[in-house]
C-alpha cells in the first residue's frame, strides 16, 4: 500500500545527497491468494524494485507491505525466518544467481536446513523430492551449476525457492534470459506448481505474451507508478491507458497475413530523477492535452479496473 523506493544520489567529497532516483513512487497492489499478478513495463519502470521492496530485500522508503494480514516490516523484526521462508524470489539470471562452487545439493538444501524444515539425516531425500518437483533428477543433486543448460539452471533456482515451502513468490523475469524454445516449459512448470501447491505469484516481465500466458490480473508500471491495473481478459481485449495500448501493439501476431497498427513510442523513458510534471507519460503520448502537462491523473476506478489517464477519469 503506497509503496515508495527512492534511491539517494550522492556526490562530492562529503557524499552529499543531491537528488533521488524515484524508482517506485507510490505503488499499491493487491494479489489474492493462489493468483498471479503480471507486472509489466519497459526497463526502468520500477518493476524489479517493486518486487524486491515487497520482499524487503531492499528497504522501502515508504508504504506498507502486508502479507496474510501481517505487516512484513514489523514481522521482520519479530520473526525474520517466517518472512524469509514464506516469501521467496526467482531471479532473472539463472547463470549469475547460482554459486558455481557449490553443488545443487548445497544450493537447494541450505535454506530448508537453516529453517528447520528438514534435518541433516533426511536432507538428501528431501532435496531429491524438490528437484523432481522442479523437473530435475535426484542424481542432479551432486552436480555443479555449470554442468546444466540455462533452462535446467532456472529449474534449480525454482527448486531453491520451493525448498522452504513458500506461499508467495516474486518471479522476476524468470524466462527472459532463456532460449525461446524452453521458455514455455519453465512457464508451464511455474503454472503447475502454483496450481498444485496453491502458490501466489508476482510475475514481473516486459514480455506481454509471457504475461498473457501466466497471469490472472495485469498491472502496468511507467516511471515508478501504476498506470493501469485490470483483469487479464479485460486488459488484453481492450487496454485503456495509451501506454498499455502501445505495449500491446508490439506483441507479434501468429498469423503472418494479419495486420495490426503498431504504436511506436517516441523518445526515451524520461529520467526518474526529475519525472515530467502532470502525467508522467505526457511527453510520449499522442493523446496528451493541456491538462496532462500540469495535473497528475489519479489511478481511478473505470468499470472494474483502474486507470490513471485523463481520457478515462475526471
Ligand atoms: Fe496521455 Fe494525458 Fe492520458 Fe497521460 S493523462 S496518458 S498524457 S491522455
Write down the ipTM of this complex.
0.99
pLDDT exceeding 70 applies to what percent of the chain?
A: 98
Confirm or reject: Cβ of 246 under 6 Å from ligand 1.
no
Whether residue 312 lies inside any domain: the answer is no
Whether residue 313 lies inside any domain: the answer is no
Q: Is 273 in a helix, a strand, or coil?
A: coil
Whether residue 259 lies inside any domain: the answer is yes
DSSP-assigned beta bridge partners for residue 70: 67
pLDDT (0 to 100) of residue 268: 80
Most informative mutation of 293, 309, 313 for ligand 1 (most atoms within 8 A of CB):
309
pLDDT, tens digit (0-9, with 9 covering 90-100), for 196-230: 999 999 999 999 999 999 999 999 999 999 999 99
Alpha carbon dihedral 183, 184, 189, 193, in 10-degree steps, equals 110
**Residue 282: is it exposed, middle or buried by C-beta count within 10 angstroms (0-12/13-18/19+)?**
buried
* Mean pLDDT along residues 166-189: 93
CATH (domain of 191): 3.40.50.300
Residue carrying the nine cell digits 513510442? 265
Q: How far apart are CA 113 and CA 211, in angstroms?
A: 34
Q: How far apart are CA 39 and CA 270, in angstroms?
A: 20
**Residue 255: is it exposed, middle or buried by C-beta count within 10 angstroms (0-12/13-18/19+)?**
exposed
- For residue 55, the CA-to-ligand 1 centroid distance in Å is 31
Task: Give whole-number Cα distances, 79 to 53, 115, 199, 234, in Å.
Answer: 18, 12, 21, 40
Confirm or reject: Cβ of 288 under 6 Å from ligand 1.
yes
pLDDT, tens digit (0-9, with 9 covering 90-100), for 116-148: 999 999 999 999 999 999 999 999 999 999 999
- Which residues span the domain enclosing 283? 3-307
Whether residue 314 lies inside any domain: the answer is no
pLDDT band at 242 (very low <50, low <70, confident <90, very high): very high
Number of structural domains in the chain: 1
Whether residue 65 lies inside any domain: the answer is yes
Angle at 20 between CA 18 and CA 26, to 5 degrees: 155
- For residue 206, the CA-to-ligand 1 centroid distance in Å is 21
Amino acid at each position: 500500500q503506497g509503496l515508495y523506493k527512492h534511491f539517494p544520489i550522492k556526490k562530492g567529497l562529503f557524499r552529499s545527497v543531491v537528488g533521488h532516483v524515484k524508482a517506485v513512487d507510490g505503488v499499491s497492489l493487491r494479489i489474492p491468494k493462489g493468483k498471479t499478478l503480471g507486472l509489466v513495463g519497459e526497463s526502468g519502470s520500477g518493476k524489479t524494485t517493486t518486487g524486491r521492496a515487497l520482499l524487503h530485500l531492499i528497504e522501502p522508503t515508504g508504504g506498507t507491505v502486508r502479507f496474510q494480514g501481517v505487516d512484513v516490516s514489523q514481522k521482520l523484526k519479530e520473526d525474520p525466518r517466517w518472512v524469509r521462508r514464506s516469501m521467496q524470489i526467482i531471479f532473472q539470471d539463472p547463470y549469475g544467481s547460482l554459486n558455481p562452487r557449490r553443488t545443487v545439493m548445497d544450493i537447494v538444501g541450505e535454506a530448508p536446513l537453516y529453517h528447520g524444515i528438514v534435518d541433516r539425516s533426511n536432507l538428501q531425500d528431501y532435496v531429491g523430492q524438490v528437484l523432481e518437483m522442479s523437473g530435475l533428477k535426484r542424481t542432479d543433486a551432486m552436480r555443479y551449476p555449470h554442468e546444466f543448460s540455462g533452462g535446467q539452471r532456472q529449474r534449480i533456482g525454482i527448486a531453491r525457492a520451493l525448498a522452504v515451502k513458500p506461499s508467495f513468490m516474486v518471479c522476476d523475469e524468470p524466462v527472459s534470459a532463456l532460449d525461446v524454445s524452453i521458455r514455455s516449459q519453465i512457464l508451464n512448470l511455474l503454472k503447475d506448481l502454483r496450481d498444485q501447491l496453491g502458490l501466489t505469484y508476482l510475475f514481473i516481465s516486459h514480455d506481454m505474451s509471457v504475461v498473457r500466458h501466466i497471469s490472472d490480473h495485469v498491472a502496468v508500471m511507467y516511471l515508478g507508478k501504476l498506470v493501469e491495473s485490470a483483469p487479464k481478459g479485460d486488459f488484453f481485449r481492450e487496454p485503456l491507458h495509451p501506454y498499455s495500448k502501445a505495449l500491446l501493439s508490439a506483441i507479434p501476431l501468429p498469423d503472418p497475413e494479419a495486420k495490426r497498427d503498431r504504436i511506436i513510442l517516441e523518445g526515451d523513458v524520461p529520467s526518474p530523477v526529475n519525472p515530467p510534471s502532470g502525467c508522467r507519460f505526457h511527453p510520449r503520448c499522442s493523446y496528451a492535452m493541456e491538462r496532462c502537462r500540469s495535473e497528475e491523473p489519479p489511478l481511478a476506478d473505470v468499470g472494474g479496473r483502474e486507470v490513471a489517464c485523463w481520457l478515462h477519469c475526471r
